[in-house]
Amino acid sequence: MRNFTISRHRTLKKVLFGVFFLLFCLAASAQAQRKLLSASFTGEPLVEVLRALEKMDQYRFIFNYAELDGYRVTQSFTNVEMNTALSRVLTGLPFEYTIEGIRITVRKTADTPGNAAAVGVRAPVSGIRYGYR
């Protein structure tokens, strides 16, 4: 009976150790995914800001250079996650982003001032109508 109790006690210790080790690994993994970023940008091109953010974390950015050309960023943040950093960087700019796994897609929003239909601006149209009855 005594050998059975000792064996059972050792097995219980091993199982408890395994459970605690697994919980520790999961907590460490979750903490690694939430990396905190700090940066300051003053009049930097948006493309360069996105490249700098890409180097700070495991994310990869997908965007159209032509859409981002000409936009500059003046922003700073300390100890924030990527989602918050991107929200701050793109504040006041006509861009939106989506995060899918490690890919972040940045694209121009549909309701930019250059899109007359999106903001409800009417533009005069002139011409000759053919085939109108």
Q: Which residue has the higher pLDDT, 33 or 91?
A: 91
98/61 Cα distance (integer angstroms): 10
33-64: buried (b, 16+ CB within 10 Å) or exposed (e) per residue? eeeebebebeebebbebbeebeeebebebebe
Q: Tens digit of pLDDT for each residue in 27-65?
A: 555 544 578 999 999 999 999 999 999 999 999 999 999
pLDDT tier for residue 103 given thresholds of 50, 70 and 90: very high
Task: For each of the domains in the chain, give its residue range(s) and CATH number, in order of start.
Answer: 37-113 (3.55.50.30)
Please give the pLDDT value at position 34: 73
Please give the pLDDT value at position 120: 47
Please give the pLDDT value at position 117: 41
Q: List the beta bridge partners of residue 40.
A: 76
In the chain, % of residues over pLDDT 90? 56
Q: Which residue has the higher pLDDT, 95 or 28?
A: 95
Q: Which residue has the higher pLDDT, 111 or 62?
A: 62
pTM strictly above 0.75: no
In the chain, % of residues over pLDDT 70? 62
